[in-house]
Amino acid sequence: MHQTTEVYHPIDPPVHLDILSSKPLDPSHPQPTLVYFHGGGLTAGSRHVQAQALLPQLLLAEGWAIVCPDYRLLPESGIPEILQDLHELEKWLLQCKAGIDVSRLVMAGSSAGAFVSLLALTSWQSVKPRAFYSQYGMVDTAGEWYRRRKDDTTVFGNIPASALVEDMFTQYFQPGRLQITADALAVLVPDSRLGPFISKSMKAATGVEGPLDLIGASFPPTIIIHGTGDSIVPLSDSRALQATLQRVNVQVRLIEAEGAEHGLAPQENYRDALTEAACFLKEHAAI
C-alpha cells in the first residue's frame, strides 16, 4: 500500500490526513475517492485506525484513493473547531493535485466518524459526495442514551461504565496530543454527560442540538451497517438515521448485523455486508 501524509489545516498543532492507495496515484488520471472519518467518541482515535479496515481495503483493491483525516477532539475543542477543520478539508480537496477525483467522491465514518461525516455532508458548499456509508454511527447524540447517567449495569465493550479510566483511552489519542485529565474524561464518558456537552456545542455552532436535525433532502444516498449487540453506540442511532432519511425521501439501506458488537470484530465475519456497502459506494461513484 502507498501512503502519503498531508497537512490540511495549518494551525498549531496542524491537522493531518493520510492518502492511501494500492500504488502511487497519477494526477493525470484521478481515481474515485473515499473520505473516511475515524471513530473514538469524539474524544479519542486518529486517522491511522482506518487503514486496515475491510471496507477501505475492498476499495483499495479496486484502485480507489482513501483519504483518512484527523479532526480536533473533545474536550479541548468543540463542534465549532471540528466544523473549522471540515471547512479546511473541503478547501484542501478542491485544491488537491494528488490524483484524487472530487467528482467521484464518497464519504464514510465509523462511530463518531459518522457524526463528523454528517457535519461535513450538511455544511460543505462545493464538494458534494455522491454517497455515504455509516458504520455503527454515533449520530443520535441529542437522544436519551447520551444523556442518561450510566451505572454498573451498563457496559461499554464488556467494561462496566464505572470501571472506565483514562489509561484505557490513552492508546487511542491522536499522536502528539496532550493527555486529557481524568476529570475531563469523567465529564464525557462515565457520567454520561457527553450528550449535553455535544448538544450545547452543536447549538452554539449550528443552531440545532444534534446532527440528525441538519439533514435535508439534498443528503446523499446512504448505506448503514450496525450490530444488534452494540453496547457502545446503540442500534437505535442507526435506526434514527434511517428514519430521518426516509422522512426526507433520501435513499437509505440499513443492514443490522445480528449479534455484532461495536467494531464488527472480526470484520471478516461480516464480509458480505461490508462488500455490499463497498458495492453501494462504487455504484454511486460511477454515476
Interval 165-208: pLDDT, tens: 555 555 555 666 555 444 444 444 545 567 888 999 999 999 99
- Percent of all residues in the chain with a pLDDT value above 70, rounded to a whole number: 84
What is the extent of the structural domain holding 103? 2-285
Beta strands 132-135; 155-156: pairing state = unpaired
Q: pTM of this prediction?
A: 0.90
Domain count, the chain: 1
Residue the block writes with cell 455484532: 260
Q: Report residue 44 as a C-alpha cell.
A: 479519542
pLDDT in tens, 218-230: 999 999 999 999 9
CATH number of residue 271's parent domain: 3.40.50.1820
Helix (H, G, I), strand (E, B) or coil at 142: coil
Do 112 and 40 touch, CB atoms closer than 8 A? yes
